[in-house]
Amino acid sequence: MSETIKPYQDSETGKKEQVAQMFDTISENYDGLNKIISLGTDATWKKKILQMVKLQQPTSILDIATGTGDLAILFAETTATEIIGLDISQGMLDMGKKKISDKNLDSKIQMVLGDGEKIPYTDNYFDVITVAYGVRNFENLEKGLSEILRVLKPNGTFIILETSVPTTFPFKQGYYVYTNFIMPTIGKLFSKDKAAYKYLSTSAQNFPFGEALNNILRKIGFIEVKHEPQTMGVATIYNASKK
């Protein structure tokens, strides 16, 4: 499971510290590499999330594992007056702050250094919470999801975008080749951290997806849980709510 898969298997530090270190290291190249590795489909998935969030007409949004802030920046198009991008990597946040400043969105979006498993906000605070490619990096998945449930308002919306594994031929076989050979090779060529993209590939393949993740969300206490595979199943959007 995801708790045992760490970026630097030879290191004795915890997964959380390793994930922060990894993203600090690759932060300068992350946006460009992500576009290459996702073959441009990542932007389409995030625009779908934007439309889902707009329907909720939120006042407050929390984007956990915000990285360089792509989703948080998109959410500036919503009704929200408070948009928080939370991440454990200062390097990623610094890149995001520059993008936000360039778009003159400093007054609307706040980038916060923090832990998604110890969210620094009170109970029932946010109308919408999103996590893109972040839940599989939690050191303790159920703890992180429980924290999200705690700070989500009743009837609020929780959206996850996460990689998943295609289950039908030939997409399943193509995905295996791409994630095990092509994606790590791209990471090695263009990133300063050769282990990072190997970890991202391995963690994606071993993380529960589809109905398995739905069941974990239900166990935590989320309701109205559903999922929608994207692009032949290489990613999945999950949507849930709170009583």
pLDDT at position 3 over 60: no
Look at the block and give the residue holding tokens 């999945």: 236
pLDDT at 199: 87
Lowest-pLDDT choice from 143-157, 174-188, 197-211? 174-188
Closest CA to 14 of 124, 92, 122, 117: 117
pLDDT at position 228 over 90: yes
Neighbours of 212 (CB within 10 A): 10
pLDDT at 62: 98
The Cα–Cα gap between 229 and 233 comes to: 5
Neighbours of 93 (CB within 10 A): 25
pLDDT at 1: 39
pLDDT at position 2 over 90: no
CATH of domain 2-241: 3.40.50.150
**pLDDT tier at 99 (50, 70, 90 boundaries)?**
very high
Closest CA to 97 of 72, 123, 63, 129: 72
What is the average per-residue pLDDT within 84-111?
Answer: 97
The Cα–Cα gap between 220 and 99 comes to: 35
What is the average per-residue pLDDT within 68-93?
Answer: 98
**pLDDT tier at 4 (50, 70, 90 boundaries)?**
low
Residue 110 is given by DSSP the state: E
Structure-derived torsion over alpha carbons of residues 95, 96, 99, 105, reported in degrees to the nearest 10: -150
153 vs 35, more confident: 153
The Cα–Cα gap between 91 and 38 comes to: 22
pLDDT at 7: 87
